[in-house]
Amino acid sequence: MTPATPHHRDPRPAPAPDGTLPDARGRHGTPAGGLDYTVVVPTLGRPCLADCLAALAAARGPAPHEVVVVADVPAERLPEVEEAVRGSAGVLADRTRVRCGGGRGPAAARNTGARHAATTWVAFLDDDVRVAEDWAERLTADLAAAGPGTGGVQGRLRVPLPADRRPTDWERGTAGLEQAAWATADMAYRTEALRRAGGFDERFPRAFREDADLALRVMDAGWRLARGRRTTVHPVRPTGRWTSVRVQRGNADDVLMSRLHGRDWWSRARAPRGRLPGHVAVTLAGAGALLLAAARRPRPATALATVWAAGTAEFAWRRIAPGPRTADEVATMLLTSAAIPPVAVAHWATGHLRHRAARPWRGEPT
C-alpha cells in the first residue's frame, strides 16, 4: 500500500479510538462491527418531546444512523410535530426523520419507525424520557457486549422522586418502571429478532403490555434479553385526579396477554400481579348490596355493604399510608379507591369479549 504523503493523502477521515468515523459536524458516527443503530421515538406531540430529542442530541458517543420520530397523531397534526422536531433535534437534525403514525397507538407507531430502520439494532425511546450524557457511549458498549444470541438489551430507567416529601401514589407507580422488565421507554432490539418475532402486536392500543408481549415472543423465538448499563431518566409526568381510574383500561390488555401467552405470563414477563381478584370481590359485594337493598332485604344488604366498605377502606389505606397524606392526596385516594374496582372489572370483562378469538403465540408473526 502506498503511504499517505502531502501529495497522496488518504481521503478517508481518521477514526476515533472507538473505531467510529466522524460525520460532517465532527461528531463520531456509526460504529463499525455491526453496532449501528436507529433510534425510534413514538410521540403524541407532547412538549416533553423537545427535551427528549435535545438530550439525545447532547449525548456523547457514536451517533445513531438515523432518528425516526413517529407522530402518533392524525395527518393534519403532522406539521406541528415536524416543527417541534426542527427546533430540538440539534446536531442530529440531518439524521432525524418524522413519520406519521396516524393515531393508531404506540405499538403501531413503533412498527412504523422500525420498518424504516436499515441498521443492525433499533433503540426505542419514549418521548417523555431524557437519556444520560453518556448514553450513546454506553448503548454501543451494551450492544458490543451482546452476543449473537442476544435479541435485545434494556436500558436502566431512573425515576426522580421529590426529596422533601413522600411520593404520591402516582409517583410511586411511575417509580416502578425502575424495576420493570423490557420497558420500551429505553429498549434496544436486534432488527433481525424484532422482525422474526413479527414486531409489536398492534392489538395492544396503549402503552401497556405491548412491550412485555414482544419480549416474550422474542424469547420464545430463541433469543436472550439482557439488561445493559446505560441510564435514562424517566420524569414523573403531570397527571390529574382520575388518571389511576383511566389506566384500569389495561385490564383488557392483561386478558389478551393471557390469551396469547398462557396464565403464567406474569412470571415469565416479570410483571407484578395486580389486585383484580380483590377488585372482583369488592365489586360483587357492592353490587349485591345495591340489589338486596332494592329488594328490601336490609340485613343481607347491610352485610354486603360492610364487606364493600371494608374492602374499599383497606385499598384506600394501602395507597394513602406510604404517601404524603396531604388533604388533596387523601381525597384523591378515597375517591379513586371506590371507583377503581368496578372500572377494573368492567375493562377485564370487556377484554374477555374483545379478545375471545385471540389465539396463543405459536411462533408466527402477529
226 by DSSP, 3-state: which?
A: strand
The DSSP 8-state label assigned to residue 4 in this structure reads P
Q: What is the DSSP letter of 25?
A: T
200, 222, 239 — which closes off a domain? 239
Same domain, 89 and 71: yes
pLDDT in tens, 218-232: 999 999 999 999 999
Pick the closest to residue 210 from 161, 256, 248 (CA basis): 256
169 and 104 share one domain: yes
Q: Cα Rg for the chain, rounded, in angstroms?
A: 24
Q: Are residues 80 and 103 in the same domain?
A: yes
Among 196, 220, 239, the domain-final residue is: 239
Whole-model pTM?
Answer: 0.87
Q: Is residue 262 part of a domain?
A: yes
Residue 311 is placed in which grid cell? Answer: 374492602
Q: Which CATH number is 83's domain given?
A: 3.90.550.10
In terms of Cα–Cα distance, which of 266, 263, 280, 106 is closest to 200? 106
Domain identity same for 93 and 201: yes
The answer to whether residues 117 and 196 belong to one domain is yes
Same domain, 158 and 280: no
Q: Say if residue 74 is in the same domain as residue 210.
A: yes
Whether 185 maps to a domain, the answer reads yes
- DSSP class per residue in 308-355: HHHHHHHHHHHHHTTS---HHHHHHHHHHHHHHHHHHHHHHHHHHHHT
Q: Which residues of the chain have pLDDT under 70?
A: 1-34, 363-366
- What pLDDT is attached to residue 344? 98
pLDDT in tens, 161-177: 999 999 999 999 999 99
Distance CA 302, CA 296 (A): 11
- Whether residues 127 and 200 share a domain: the answer is yes
Residue 299 domain-assigned (yes or no): yes
Q: Residue 255: inside a domain, yes or no?
A: yes
pLDDT for the residue 66? 96
pLDDT of residue 31: 57
Phi–psi pair at 98, nearest 5 degrees: -110, 130
| 16 in a structural domain | no
Element containing residue 70 per DSSP (H, E): strand 66-71
Examine the domain organization and report whether 103 and 67 are in the same domain: yes
Same structural domain, 178 and 257: no
* In-domain check, residue 25: no
Q: Is residue 30 part of a domain?
A: no
Note whether 222 and 253 are same-domain residues.
Answer: no
Domain final position from 174, 209, 239: 239
Helix spans in the chain (H): 48-58, 78-86, 106-115, 135-145, 169-175, 191-196, 210-220, 243-246, 250-261, 265-268, 276-294, 298-320, 327-354
Range of the domain at 185: 37-239
Distance CA 45, CA 340 (A): 29
In a domain, 208, yes or no: yes
279 in the same domain as 221: no
User: How many structural domains are present in the chain?
Assistant: 2
Are 200 and 111 spatial neighbours (Cβ–Cβ below 8 Å)? yes
pLDDT of 4: 39
